[in-house]
Amino acid sequence: MTQAKSEILQGTLDLMVLKTLHAMGPLHGYGIARRIEQISEEVLLLNQGTIYASLVRLQQKGWIKAEWGTSENNRKAKYYSITSAGRRQLREEKENWERIAGVMARVLKS
């Protein structure tokens, strides 16, 4: 049961990370986590460590890339940015998600 739940969460987390990087440009892990928390208006309190599993996955699929850089506080940090393959993927996933969400909404309303 919990397994199935986390599966779904995992997929959505990847999508959220992609969208965040698409919207915000290069960000480090902490920045991504913070941003998602803010957007979700703190409803989604995620364990920030899980973001890294998602980052590795996306990297391995070639949808994002990483580079070492310096943060605003002059701290060494790894910056992630979306690739063109990632943008394509985001578009597909977004459409897919909207379609499902629409269907879900209709089903639940009726």
Partner 1 sequence: MWAKLRTWSSRLWSWARMRRTAGDFSEELESHLAMLTEENLRRGMGPAEAHRHAALSLGGIAQLRESHREQRGLPFFERLLQDLRFAFRLLLKDRGYTIAASMALALGIGANTAVFTIFAAVVLKPLPVPHPESLVTISRTTPQRPGGLFSFADYVYFRDNNGVFSSIAAETPEHLHLAASSAASSTVTGAEPLMGVFITANYLETFGLHPIAGHGLSSDDDFRTAGPYPGLLSANYFQRRFGSDLSILGQTLTVSGTPVLVVGIAPRDFMGTRPEVPDIWISSSALGDASRRAQDRTTLSSVLTARLRPGVSLAQAQAELNVMASALRNQYPAQERQWNVQVAKATRFGNYHLAFVRLYVVLQVLMALVLLIACTNVAGLFLGRAAARQREIAIRLSIGASRARIVRQLVTEGILMAVGAGLFSYVFAVQMLSAIGRTVSAKLASSGGTMAVDFSLDLRVFIYVLCISAIAGISFALVPALQSTKVDVSSALKEEAAGFGVRSKSRLRGGMIAAQISVCLALLIGAGLLTLQSVRLLSVDPGFDTKTVINLNISSPQELGYSTARTSELQSRIEERLQGHPGVARVAFASSIPLGGNITTTRVAPAEAAASTSVRQQFPYVYVSRDYFKTLGIRLRSGRDFTSHEIATNAPVAVISEGLAQRLWPGADPVGKRIALGSPTEVHFPGQRAPFSTSTEVIAVAADIYSQHLVSPDAGAVYLPKPPADWNAIGFVRVQGDPNAATTNLIREIHAMEPNLAVTAETLTHMISTGEATAAFDVASIAFFAIGLLGFALASIGIYSMVAYTVAQQTREVGIRMALGAQTSHLLRVLVGESARWILAGLASGVLVGLGLMRLLASQIPQLFGTPHLFDPCVILSVSAITGGLALLAAYFPARRAARLDPAMVLRFE
Binding residues for partner 1, rule: CB under 8 A, are 28-30, 33-34, 47-50, 52-53, 56-57, 59-62, 71, 73, 75-78
- Closest approach of partner 1 to the CB of residue 74, in Å: 11
User: What is the distance between the alpha carbons of residues 109 and 90, in angstroms, rounded to a whole number?
Assistant: 27
Cβ neighbours of 98 (radius 10 Å): 10
Which C-beta is closer to partner 1: that of 60 or that of 110? Answer: 60
DSSP 72: T
- Closest approach of partner 1 to the CB of residue 110, in Å: 36
User: What is the distance between the alpha carbons of residues 62 and 25, in angstroms, rounded to a whole number?
Assistant: 16
Closest CA to 15 of 60, 48, 64: 64
Which C-beta is closer to partner 1: that of 16 or that of 32? Answer: 32
- Closest approach of partner 1 to the CB of residue 37, in Å: 9
